[in-house]
Amino acid sequence: MTIDGRTEIYGIIGRPVAHSLSPAMHNAAFAALGLNKAYLPFEVEDVAGALTGLRALGIRGASVTIPHKQTVLPYLDEIDPVAAKIRAVNTLVVSGGKLRGLNTDWLGANRALAEKLRLGGSRVLLLGAGGSARAIGFGLLEAGAEIVIASRTPEKGQALARALGCPWLPLAEAGDHRADALVNATSVGMDPLAETMPVRKEALARFGVVMDIVYAPLATKLLQEAAAAGCQTIDGLSMLLYQGAAQFELWTGQTAPLAVMREALLAGLPQ
């Protein structure tokens, strides 16, 4: 990559950001298309200051990650309607000094699931009630799917279910449910919980498709058992890739080079 006086700058705002795979993914994509753009990590504590800086420096766009997906909201000039429902933004587009916030996490999840399932009218059991489950839940509603939420902490799960207008189950009862797809949006299965599963393995045959958004490890225990039970499986790299592809397309107006981006993500994942 050559940086010169015309290089357009993008980046990721979060804390911590040192572990983020986004710089490798976006820089690989910019290079593959010969774009004079670069993407940098910005470890940010002062969100208001960072966003003023973004405008002042002419930075063209940014990803937003934990803990700033909600804290950026009051400082934006415009919020995409679905991001407003989710109440979280993971993407900023800067144009004419104005900041527009969007959420591509739900777009990534929908695109990943849509490779194996027609979303409209499908029944999806969504595990978890955290930030990712909220984005995926609103995204599934956009696509016309029917959702049931199952999660560990009742108050949190019931609050999300109310926001989505869908039923809630305790996580312990998730295995008694039947649906076209099961989506794990809990941290169960992620290192150091890599030997654990959010539902018992005997229940997996109740779901045609099983998607895990955990990507470290990539072949989670849930996905291994789901494949053994005959389910179609989707790993956490797909959502990660497609949310990044949607960001790339918002920033450049060009089709994202998926193979290059996938390769960059795979190279950055812990082996």
Least distance from ligand NAP to the Cβ atom of residue 74, Å: 20
| DSSP per-residue letters across 201-255 | GGGGGGEEEEEE---SSSS-HHHHHHHHTT-EEE-HHHHHHHHHHHHHHHHHSS-
Q: Which is nearer to ligand NAP, 94 or 168 (CB)?
A: 168
**Which one of residues 47, 119, 239, 256 is an interface residue with ligand NAP (CB under 6 A)?**
239
Q: Active site includes 69?
A: yes
Is residue 153 within the footprint of ligand NAP (CB under 6 A)?
Answer: yes
Beta strands in the chain (DSSP E): 8-14, 37-43, 61-64, 78-79, 91-95, 98-102, 123-127, 146-151, 168-170, 179-184, 207-212, 232-234
Please name the amino acid found at residue 9.
I
Is residue 190 a contact residue for ligand NAP (CB under 6 A)?
yes
Least distance in angstroms from the C-beta of 123 to ligand NAP: 20
Instruction: Give, as ranges, the residues between 64 and 123 that touch ligand NAP (CB under 6 A).
Output: 108
Residue 232 interacting with ligand NAP (CB under 6 A): no
- Compute and round to an integer the Cα radius of gyration of the chain: 19
How many Cβ atoms from other residues are within 10 Å of residue 150's Cβ? 27
C-beta nearest to ligand NAP: residue: 130
Helix (H, G, I), strand (E, B), or coil: what is residue 118?
coil
Asked if residue 139 binds ligand NAP (CB under 6 A), the reply is no
Which position among 69, 98, 116, 156 bears the catalytic label?
A: 69
Kindly state whether residue 156 participates in binding ligand NAP, applying the rule CB under 6 A. Answer: yes
Cβ atoms of 160 and 183 closer than 8 Å: no
Among positions 91, 104, 122, 186, the unique one binding ligand NAP when judged by CB under 6 A = 186
Part in contact with ligand NAP (CB under 6 A); list of ranges 1-9, 30-38, 75-83, 145-153: 145-153
Which 3 state secondary structure label does DSSP give 145? Answer: coil
Local structure of 112: helix, strand or coil? helix
| One residue of 169, 240, 246, 261 binding ligand NAP per CB under 6 A | 240
Q: Contact, 226 vs 197, CB < 8 A?
A: no
Judged by CB under 6 A, the residue of 91, 103, 110, 132 near ligand NAP is 132
- Which one of 53, 130, 208, 268 is in contact with ligand NAP (CB under 6 A)? 130
Q: Which of 59, 88, 149, 214 binds ligand NAP (CB under 6 A)?
A: 214
Exactly one of 30, 39, 207, 215 binds ligand NAP (CB under 6 A); that residue is: 215
Q: How many residues does the chain have?
A: 271
Spatial distance between the Cα atoms of 177 and 167, rounded to a whole number of angstroms: 12
Of the pair 44, 185, the CB lying nearest ligand NAP is at 185
For residue 137, how far is the Cα from the chain centroid? 12
| Catalytic sites, residue numbers | 69
Contact residues: ligand NAP, CB under 6 A? 108, 128-133, 151-153, 156-157, 171, 185-188, 190, 213-215, 236, 239-240, 243
